[in-house]
Structure 1
Amino acid sequence: MNIRLMKLRKAAGYSNRDEFAEKIGVNKYTYRSWESGAAMMNAEQLWTCAKALGCSPNDILGWNDEMGDFDADDALTVDEREIVDNYRDSSPQWQKNIAMTAKAAASESKKD
């Protein structure tokens, strides 16, 4: 199973893995083994990491809800995650507005 901890940790602004291990309350060697894929975390540890990284456990595991499959190269940046979270927190009408605005901005940006 592809664990994307390093990419998500760095995207969340934690450049030092030992400091991140301390933040989530685990031994640095334990965290290193998770990041390298030598060991697997349990569900509680997965949840703690996800909360600290501002992502979902699915993001760490590489599970892509829309595709229904694992996708190791499609992690969201911190800004992208914020946009998605804001979209999901909006009412249905505002979600339509946000989607239309994003589509229009993308279309305009391709004209440059």
Structure 2
Amino acid sequence: MAGGGFAKLPGGSVVVALSLPSPPGGSGTPGARVRVLVHAVNRQRALTRLRNLGLRAVYLRGNSEPPTPDEITAVLHHPDGLVWRATPDDDTESWHPIGSLLRRRRPAA
């Protein structure tokens, strides 16, 4: 199950943060997780954005791991409003566009 949470912004939009299992071919460490951030009009729209990208089994249950102020800043400054990082606790790693995570998931032809 994904751990995560959300933060409502003053303008009414939300930032949703989810900690998901690392995709196959990712870090290679068993139990490794990636942190995904989504900026959207509301929580349902944020989860729909992820599901439309192929992450079908993504649900937000509760607010146990809300985004930090630094995470909110990172996703708000990204043009797509959808970023991820392989080591959520490492502040030295930069945030990546979601397309790079999805390309790693697809099998080679």
**TM-score (normalizing by structure 1):** 0.26
| Greater strand share, structure number | 2
Larger radius of gyration: 1
- The structure with the greater share of residues assigned to helix is 1
